[in-house]
Structure 1
Amino acid sequence: MFQQIIPAFLVGGLLCVIGQLLMDLTKPAFTPAHVLVTYVTGGAILGALGLYGPLVKFAGAGASVPLSGFGYLLSKGAIEGVGKRGLLGAFSGGVEAAAVGIAAAVLFGYLVSITFNPKG
């Protein structure tokens, strides 16, 4: 059990530390939105180059749950889509691979928005 938990904790924690350092050391230029875009884009690029897959195998959820894991999933789906459907698969494959996560984010975001009232 600890052989899975320790790498996930270390890699996931390192990704969080890097994002926090980017925001703290580059204020006000690097906002949380910049970190989001950088991590998703970085995960997609590293996934397309074949460099993020070994990290996911090593760290499991520590590498697949953060935003960079979402980018990796999009790139992996796009690559598989190209293999199945050609150029059109490049556009549909990523969304198809991430459909469950996207649907869950929309559903839970909606449930939270109707459950809680924002401060005025």
Structure 2
Amino acid sequence: MDYLNAFWVGGLICALVQILLDRTKLLPGRVMVLLVCTGTVLGALGIYEKLIDFAGAGASVPLLGFGNTLWKGIKKAVDEQGLLGIFQGGFESSAVGISAALIFGYLASLIFKPKMKK
């Protein structure tokens, strides 16, 4: 059942984002920023953690989950270090994911030899 919940919640998030991209004039970069900010707000309200408990990776992998991860890191750092934690917490909590994306993106570029569009 965990796999089914992850599949349909993750699919629903992706479908809603695709509808947003198709039906509005928002550029993809702005939609990505909107998703991260929405995940942060839902995390701050305590809503997103319940969704992750229900759907697992279906909720934590999309960009909404990245915003929630940033929120959790910032909250923890502010509780421990005060106001300066605002600047440090997000980096500490998301460093592994960002590093993995950069490393695997670089490896993929070595394997597939990308070319610039003309």
Q: Note whether the superposition's TM-score is higher than 0.5.
A: yes
Q: Which residues in structure 2 correspond to 1:59-74 (within 5 Å)?
A: 59-74=55-70
Find 1:15's aligned residue among 13, 22, 31. Answer: 13
Correspondence for 1:35: 31
Q: Deviations over 1:26-67 (max 9, x none)?
A: 1xx122222211111110111112111101111100000001
Correspondence for 2:80: 84
**Which sits farther off after the overlay, 65-74 or 82-91?**
82-91
| Residue 21 (structure 1) shift | 0.2
Correspondence for 1:108: 104
Identity of aligned residues (%): 53
Q: Normalising by structure 1, what TM-score? A: 0.90
| Residue 95 (structure 1) shift | 1.0
Q: Alignment RMSD, CA only?
A: 1.2
In structure 2, give the amino acid aligned to 1:20. Q
Q: Matched residues in 2 for 1:37 and 1:86: separation? A: 26
> Can you give the 5+ residue segments of structure 2 that lack an aligned partner in the other structure?
none
Q: Normalising by structure 2, what TM-score? A: 0.92
> Can you give the 5+ residue segments of structure 1 that lack an aligned partner in the other structure?
none
In structure 1, give the amino acid aligned to 2:84. L
Divergent runs of 4+, >3 A: none
Correspondence for 1:55: 51
